[in-house]
Amino acid sequence: MKPAYKIIGLLALALLAGPATWASPKAEFTKAVKREFSIDPAGLTQFITKYGKLDVKTWDQNKVKVDVTIRVQARSEEEAQKVFNQIRIDFTSSANLVKAETIIESSSGWNWWGSSKSDFTIDYEVYLPKTVTLDVAHKYGDVFTSAFSGRVVMDLKYGNLRMDELQNDINLDLSYGNATIASVRDAEGIISYSNLTLAKVRDGKLTTKYSNVTIEEGHYIQSESKYDTYRLGTLSKLNSRANFGSVEISRIEDLSSFSRYTDFKVGEVSNSAELDLEYGGARMEKILKGFSEIRLNGRYTDFKIQVEEGANYQLEAAGKYAGILYPSSLKVTYEKEQPTYHEVSGHNGVPNSRSVIKARLDYGGLKMQ
């Protein structure tokens, strides 16, 4: 290559490398906003925040303390100040309300936040009475709360939530994030593209899609889900409507579900199960003696169930284009078997037991042990 071409080539490479090659390195500049307000212990606190973390702590004062730290990565103080000028924190307060909101103003003709919103963060540290209601709408950042006894309303997008013990109820709207709650009284949530973990909950009502839900211990859970994975520990009752997913349960008293394209795996059932499934499957590894009723309706579904040894129960099962396999200990009182139809009735142990298993199948099967 001739020298002139070498010079032109070097200039082209320098231009491709961009102005960042020549620019001075960025430094961090900070601005603090601190406010404190009195509030009634049963009052309402609201935080509308974004682009940073919200850390909520409790104390034994009837006051709300808000410390905001704005951090900007910029090449000069002048450049940082332009960003500070576009960010403000609006406060509203009364005896029963404290509200803080992050406002980011746009500037016409100038992309003030540079090439990336990660060039700045707006972090909140809040102290408040543990008895107030906490209402949060947060985007692009994480939320942390300490042990709390007031009600919580949480709308979180593109961030993570970690909560210690909550002695009250929560209404949670979570998108594109992860939430872990140590314990909560009642929980109602809309969860999408996220992971939710509840260590302990009394009653829960969840609407979910494209998410993973883990509940270690609960009383009554209602769920409506699409494309989700549920991992459940010990529950008293589950009422589920699921589409395209899977549900795993360690122990449960009463199970009810109407689902499509969903697989169930249940470790132990102590009282009842009612499953209406289409294009799925269900496996119950242990149905305890003294259960009340197991009712199975399936279309293109395989059921595999195992009843505790020594249990007394009645069986009524019928299937079209479905196989029915029952244990050899069953005393059959009626059976009709044709190429496309199989029906069987009988009892295991003593007759006329209060425990009943009923199955109606179209294309699929029932296997009992």
Per residue in 174-196, pLDDT (tens digit) is 999 999 999 999 999 999 999 99
Residue 300, CA distances (Å) to 205, 358, 360, 361 in order: 29, 17, 11, 8
The contacts of residue 175 (CB under 8 Å, 6+ apart) are: 156, 157, 158, 191, 192, 193, 194
Structure tokens at 64: 């709300």
CA–CA distance, 163 with 147 (Å, rounded to integer): 7
Q: Report the SS3 class of residue 282.
A: strand
Q: Cα-flanking dihedrals φ and ψ of residue 13, to 5°? A: -65, -40
- Looking from the CA of 22 toward its CB, the CA atoms found within 13 Å total 8
Q: Does residue 117 carry a pLDDT above 50?
A: no
Per residue in 128-154, pLDDT (tens digit) is 999 999 999 999 999 999 999 999 999
Domain boundaries, the chain: 23-138
Average pLDDT score, the chain: 92
Of 44-53, 73-82, 198-207, 291-300, give the lowest mean pLDDT range: 73-82
CA–CA distance, 74 with 53 (Å, rounded to integer): 20
Q: Report the SS3 class of residue 324.
A: strand
Of 114-123, 184-193, 357-366, give the lowest mean pLDDT range: 114-123
CA–CA distance, 68 with 16 (Å, rounded to integer): 39
Residue 259, CA distances (Å) to 231, 243, 244, 262, 287 in order: 16, 6, 8, 6, 21
Q: Does residue 13 carry a pLDDT above 50?
A: no
> What is the mean predicted confidence (pLDDT) over 253-273?
98
CA–CA distance, 69 with 194 (Å, rounded to integer): 28
**Three-state SS annotation for 43-103:** CEEEEEEECCCEEEEECCCCEEEEEEEEEEEECCHHHHHHHHHHEEEEEEECCCEEEEEEE
Q: Cα-flanking dihedrals φ and ψ of residue 82, to 5°? A: -60, -35
Per the listing, tokens 């960025």 go with: 26
First to last CA, the chain: 82
Please list the alpha-helical segments (H only) found in the chain.
3-17, 77-86
In this prediction, residue 109 carries a pLDDT of 40
Query: Global pTM?
Result: 0.88
CA–CA distance, 201 with 305 (Å, rounded to integer): 28
Higher pLDDT, 159 or 109: 159
In this prediction, residue 23 carries a pLDDT of 57
Which of 85, 82, 83 lies closest to 121 in space, CA to CA? 83
Please answer whether residues 368 and 307 qualify as being in contact, where contact means their C-beta atoms are separated by less than 8 angstroms: yes
Q: Does residue 82 carry a pLDDT above 50?
A: yes
In this prediction, residue 106 carries a pLDDT of 77
CA–CA distance, 25 with 179 (Å, rounded to integer): 36
Structure tokens at 4: 């002139």
CA–CA distance, 313 with 328 (Å, rounded to integer): 14
- Measured torsion, CA atoms of residues 75, 25, 116, 163, in degrees rounded to the nearest 10: -100
